[in-house]
């Protein structure tokens, strides 16, 4: 296990802050039954550094907490949305060294699946009187498609960081 240092703590805090800021800057896309939470692109950063795991989880928690206080999301999202991001970040970290054609494409699978299933179930329970398989499938697919779009940006972000020596040093040292 790598030693915790000031650089790692700062990277973790920056990831959390930017994640929350992007969500709050784009509330119509970040919350609700149909969403593309662009900050979820950061869920690919755990393939580069372990401190990205608590960074994205804290950022998600803050975005959901503030979103609840502002009335853009429900309080239950503080728990379930953050849980989905935690599981996704941990599983993505496990795929840190797995690449397809040099890209962190396998790292997209956990965020897409965790959010589709957990947030899809959450939305179904929140916005309907009856939890049905069809409505759950619809919500899971819409959340999954939005998550896939964000994760493709995350793959691009990782690709740019890995190919730029200055960025790679800043994100991995």
Q: Which residues pair with 35 in a beta bridge?
A: none
Give me the mean pLDDT over the 82-95 stretch.
97
Lowest-pLDDT choice from 37-41, 60-64, 72-76: 72-76
Indicate the length of the chain as a whole number. 173
Ordered domains of the chain (ranges, CATH): 6-172 (1.10.1760)
Residue with the larger pLDDT of the pair 104 and 3: 104
Q: Which residues pair with 151 in a beta bridge?
A: none
Q: How many Å is the maximal CA-CA distance in the chain?
A: 53
Amino acid 83: pLDDT: 96
Q: What token pair was written down for 26? A: 């784009």
Give the CA distances from residue 56 to residues 9, 52, 70, 110, 139, in Å, rounded to whole numbers and listed in that order: 13, 6, 21, 14, 23
Q: Is residue 96 predicted with pLDDT exceeding 60?
A: yes
Residue 171 CB contacts under 8 Å (≥ 6 apart), including other chains? 11, 45, 48, 49, 161
């Amino acid at each position: 296990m790598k030693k915790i240092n000031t650089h790692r703590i700062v990277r973790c805090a920056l990831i959390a802050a930017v994640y929350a800021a992007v969500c709050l800057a784009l509330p119509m896309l970040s919350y609700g039954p149909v969403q593309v939470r662009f900050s979820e692109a950061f869920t690919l950063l755990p393939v580069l550094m372990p401190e990205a795991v608590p960074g994205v989880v804290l950022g998600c928690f803050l975005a959901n907490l503030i979103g609840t206080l502002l009335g853009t999301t429900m309080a239950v999202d503080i728990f379930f949305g953050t849980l989905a991001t935690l599981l996704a970040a941990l599983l993505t970290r496990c795929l840190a060294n797995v690449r397809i054609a040099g890209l962190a494409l396998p790292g997209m699978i956990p965020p897409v699946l965790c959010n589709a299933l957990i947030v899809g179930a959450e939305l179904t329970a929140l916005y309907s009187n009856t939890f049905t398989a069809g409505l759950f499938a619809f919500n899971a697919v819409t959340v999954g498609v939005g998550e896939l779009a964000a994760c493709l940006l995350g793959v691009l972000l990782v690709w740019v960081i890995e190919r730029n020596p200055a960025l790679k040093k800043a994100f991995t040292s």
